Amino acid sequence: MRPTLSWTPTDDLPPGSTDPAPVADALSGGRVLVLSGAGLSTESGIPDYRGEGGSLSRHTPMTFQDFTGSLQARRRYWARSHLGWRTFGRALPNAGHRAVAAFGRHGLLTGVITQNVDGLHQAAGSEGVVELHGSLDRVICLSCGTLSPRRELARRLTAANPDFAPVAAGINPDGDADLDDEQVGDFRVVDCALCGGVLKPDVVFFGENVPPARVEYCRALVRAAASLLVLGSSLTVMSGLRFVRQAADAGKPVLIVNRDPTRGDRHAVTRVALPLGAALTGVAGQLGIAVDGAPDATAGR
């Protein structure tokens, strides 16, 4: 069975709002749990999956079943990912990431769960981030379980493919560059340096389950929170939607900041349909919180 990659909004969803005041009100009360998705990183130059111009319109992500079942699929993945990593690894946190970090420093958050694999929350200064889908910074051996830094694998892949320098048409949220089969060519994949096993990025591929212990830890964070703030996620896949449903079932307010409708809208008290960086910086300004590197939210008023 292929994993769920898309979701079609229905006509009975509540409309989005342009008023971020409910988000400011929730944050002012503290004990807010943040759940972030790919839309939070678009302002850092990393496209999302399903928004306007999202990568799913031109790109089908690698599934766990394809990756483990085919050497050619792994060659294609690592060629594209190796090239994409050079760009992906240079991305910087944007105003949205910095605002979340500022909320955390002021004690307004109980935690941050991110569906992203880019490490930008941590780069912005957020602490205790739960990487629901893992991180591209790490590589895992599927045979012996050894974890190693991605930069180490990058050095080995560069050494094994010294003349590999195609020009990609674009970059995707999973760090995968857009290359055709001719550009991939006979790219050489390297194996685990310890046991010779298959190497995989330490991320949860489509069609793969989030580790149960990680899910349960996130459920505990939802139980401990007063409200759930969803940032830049369409909530199409169950890995994030389940926490929205859990919060709503427990009577905890769910607030969503996302320009497009989401699969969780019917469970939310509001969806703010504004660009994330500007919306969160504005909320920080309302709360009297400075966001490092961001313009004064009250300028020009």
Q: What is d(CA 156, CA 159) in angstroms, rounded to the nearest whole number?
A: 5
> CA distances (Å), 182 to each of 73, 80, 91, 250, 289, in order?
14, 12, 27, 52, 51
For residue 119, the tally of other CB atoms under 10 A from its CB is 19
Q: What is d(CA 296, CA 280) in angstroms, rounded to the nearest whole number?
A: 12
Catalytic residue among 82, 97, 133, 267: 133
- Sorted by sequence, the CB contacts under 8 Å of residue 272 that are 6+ apart come out as 16, 17, 18, 19, 20, 22, 23, 255, 256, 257, 258, 279
Smallest CA-to-CA distance from 194 within 124, 143, 232, 120 is with 143
CB 113 within 8 A of CB 33: yes
Q: What is d(CA 162, CA 82) in angstroms, rounded to the nearest whole number?
A: 12
- Sorted by sequence, the CB contacts under 8 Å of residue 11 that are 6+ apart come out as none
Structure tokens at 100: 């979340």
Give the residue numbers of the binding site: 37-57, 115-118, 141, 144, 192, 195, 232-234, 276
CB 241 within 8 A of CB 56: no
Burial 267-301 (b: 16+ CB within 10 A, else e): bbebbbbbbbbbbbbbbbbbbebebeebeebeeee
Q: Which amino acid is at 119?
A: G
Helix (H) or strand (E) holding 114: strand 109-114
Give the residue numbers of the binding site for NAD(+): 37-57, 115-118, 232-234, 276
Catalytic annotation present for 82: no
**Residues taking part in catalysis:** 133
